[in-house]
Amino acid sequence: MVKNLARHWQNTLGSNYADIFIEDTDISSMVLQDGKVSQAQQVCLYGAGIRAVNGTETGYAYTMDLSEESLLKAARFAGRSFSPKNNPGEGLPLHKYKQPFLRSPKKEVGGEALRQFLLKVEEKAHVLDDSIVKVKAYVSQRMQEVEFAASDGTAFHDFRPRTSLSVNIVMERGGQTQMGFASRMMQMGGEFLSDALIEEVVREAIERTDFLFSATQIEGGEMPVVMAAGSSGILLHEAIGHAFEADFIRTGDSIFTGQLGKQICHPNISIVDDGTLPGDAGMLRYDDEGIPGQCTTLVEHGRLNSYLYDRISASHFGVKPTGNGRRESFRCMPIPRMRSTYMLPGEAKEEDIIRSVKRGIYAQSFTNGQVQIGAGDFTFFMKTGYLIEDGHLTRPLRDLNIIGNGPEALRRISMVAGNLSIDHSASMCGKEGQKVAVSQGLPTVLIDKLIVG
């Protein structure tokens, strides 16, 4: 229904490429704290974003009114820098666009059902551990339907459900209080909210919190760090993954600029960014520029194989887009973003990696961190882990900073285990004011030297 629209706009606006992204999204969320709903929200997003592109120059406009007049106004605004005409946008065949487009069946859970689900989360927590004094549970559903058309003939229609659950608990024992959390997010509808999910997330939150009562801190220094499989993938995403995004390469802001085809780490390391994992938060049947979902090999046996390209950066470098053009909503232009970024499994065993360390850290979970994309310097806050002494996990540790440089840390990975795990926590990645859902993963790896403090 919008297949020919962008092509006509390209010709009229004077650009070498144009597209339209139409979105119809319902977002519902609820927070339950101490048995009561403390927050409930319903958000409806309905609108279109129109883009005109000449080389790397982009004009963009969006509207929440899909009438012919409003779309025409947005088209004029998007193309006003490129159009040779005094009245850009005149003569567009908007009658060919049928408003509204058909909606797919959406497996949504209503407000009362969400409340009952969250009450079950709270009940399960208190049943499993009587030292819990507070439970805060958060559930969110995002039911997004999109339609896209580009002047090159690309067009698609897609339905993208996404549901997440987060649980925060507070335990009190012997006058000491600790807080812990756990979360999950998948591209599913209401069917995701099951008893099995409650059991899994609540138990994980309890285990993390229980761990903190016996954990301590140590004096810092430079030492080997073993990154546990799964959630440690946040280091791969933040400290290394962003530097592969091709807009940073195009502007020369990434430390990996000019490194394509070069050996950047040990040959036993391969890294991919994958948009094809079924149900994964980063899965894309099509990205937000109409490029089919695919798995992109970033590092192959230690050699930098590819960057993450959207249409603009791909055109700049004369390569094909990799399906990484993503946007938060119709209000935003697409930019290169990760999907599910993970390191492929190696041949080592986790126990052998730990056994090889005389004294170091086993990093198990992280809460937050800071990264400088250009330099690659990072600081991550390790929430839970262990001290390694003479090849054995000994003292439980908590609340330590791990400091290093992303590319340098990548070069210092000397052992990779075969136990790859994808972390399906509710991870939202921010960039240029836009947030998109992602996931990350890692097998257990040994980084020979990082600063712990």
Chain mean position to CA 308: 14
Q: Which of 179, 214, 249 is the last residue of a domain?
A: 214
pLDDT for res 68: 83
Same domain? For 192 and 284 the reply is no
What pLDDT score was predicted for residue 16? 83
Same structural domain for residues 440 and 378? yes
In degrees and rounded to multiples of 5, residue 248 shows phi and psi of: -70, -30
Residue finishing a domain among 197, 214, 231? 214
User: What is the spatial distance between Cα 58 and Cα 75, in angstroms, rounded to a whole number?
Assistant: 13
246 and 182 share one domain: no
Cα 353 from chain centre: 28
Record the tokens describing residue 138, joined without a space. 């958060």
Q: Where does a domain end: 177, 199, 214?
A: 214
Check pLDDT > 60 for residue 105. Answer: no
Q: Is the pLDDT of residue 148 over 70?
A: yes
* Domain span at 156: 5-214
Q: What is the pLDDT of residue 83?
A: 53
Q: How many domains does the chain have?
A: 2
In a shared domain, residues 145 and 291: no
- pTM value surpassing 0.85: yes
Which stretch of 14-28, 33-47, 111-125 has the lowest confidence by average pLDDT?
14-28
Residue 138 has pLDDT above 60, yes or no: yes
Q: At what angle do helices 68-79 and 5-13 cross, to 10 degrees?
A: 50
Kindly tell me if the per-residue pLDDT of 232 is higher than 90: yes
CA proximity to 335, closest of 45, 51, 42: 51
Taking only the tens place, the pLDDT of each residue in 170-196 is: 999 999 999 999 999 999 999 999 999
Answer yes or no: do 414 and 391 share one domain: yes
**Overall average pLDDT of the 292-302 stretch:** 98
User: What was the pLDDT predicted at 5?
Assistant: 58
**CB of 141 closer than 8 Å to CB of 108:** yes
What are residue 223's phi and psi, to 5 degrees? -160, 165
CA atoms within 13 A on the CB side of 279: 13
